[in-house]
Amino acid sequence: MESLVVGIDGGGTKTRALLADERGERIAESVGDASAVRPGEAERSAGVIAGVVRDVMEEAGHPDSRPRVLCVGVAGVGRESERQALYDALVEQEVADEVVVESDFLIALEDAFGEGPGVLLIAGTGSSAFGRSPAGARARCGGWGPMIGDEGGGAWIGRRALSVVAAASDGREPESALTGAVLTATESAEATDLIRWAANATPAKLGTLAPVVIAVAEAGDLRANALISMAVEELALHVRALARQLFVDERASVPVALTGGLLRKGAPIRKRLEHRLRTAVPGAQVHPAEVDPARGAVRAALRYLGELTT
């Protein structure tokens, strides 16, 4: 049997696996629960990833086989201790002959630019940016997690929407259509019910409010529109920071790729961000193609496979 590889894109909302042969031809794919690594929870993430790998192997008709190489790109492994913990947990799961663990940035960067320069912005449940300079230097911006960072991401938008509803309920802000929309989305009877809902909400759950805010903004609500404008500005700042650090300044030619649930092609926030980048980062050259982090993980796995066989 020929060598098979699996690429994993693990985020705060879902985990996606792609199975490919040694030529890079896609065979099957599978989707599972969130597997972003939280401090001290590497084993939980490994369990989710192992389940998705087994699912994709079964989907391809190889339930009793293991991929030769598993490349996992997952949020939350920026620190070496967390990366090593996830690696160890995956090895213990025995789901592949060889395991490679990378950050979600690197696999997305792999798909967007290969080994070339550029800035990649990710905005889904959380937010972060990663870049490579023309000389090969790498840097990151954001990605500080839901408690102190992730500005412009879905959970950030959701949390601020809750604050708007609370303030409007108090009379500290004018009434907004966000109130009714958020109460409906959270199945809450009144604003005070949001206290319990928020206390039990994971970042992914908070992120489910982002589409609600976007829809209300698109319908013309000024407060929701202002919140989306704040999110767009935060995301633009991520790109500008790396443009200055890796490409001298924001006026230099900077290849930019956008990915994540909030930045899908045609998405309202993506459209507004592309417009904002024209002035915030004048040298930005936004790639129109979709970035597929799981595909980038497959490419990284194939490169590792090549090293094993040479």
Helix (H, G, I), strand (E, B) or coil at 89: helix
Q: Does the pTM exceed 0.75? A: yes
Structure confidence at residue 170 as a pLDDT band (50, 70, 90): very high
Lowest mean pLDDT among 75-79, 193-197, 253-257: 75-79
pLDDT 10s digits, 9-64:
998 778 999 999 988 889 999 999 988 888 888 899 999 999 999 999 999 888 88
pLDDT 10s digits, 125-163:
889 999 999 999 999 999 888 889 899 999 999 999 999
Task: Report d(CA 294, CA 73) in Å as an integer.
Answer: 8
pLDDT 10s digits, 266-290:
999 999 999 999 999 999 999 888 8
Structure confidence at residue 204 as a pLDDT band (50, 70, 90): confident
CA angle (293, 126, 24) in 5-degree steps: 5
Instruction: Give how far Cα 17 sits from Cα of 142, 144, 268, Å.
Output: 25, 25, 27
Please name each of the domains of the chain with its CATH number: 4-109+292-309 (3.30.420.40)
Residue 307 has pLDDT above 80, yes or no: no
Residues 6 or more apart whose CB falls under 8 angstroms from that of 111 comprise 291, 292, 293, 295, 296, 299
Instruction: Give how far Cα 30 sits from Cα of 192, 205, 269, Å.
Output: 39, 22, 27
Task: Report d(CA 292, CA 47) in Å as an integer.
Answer: 23
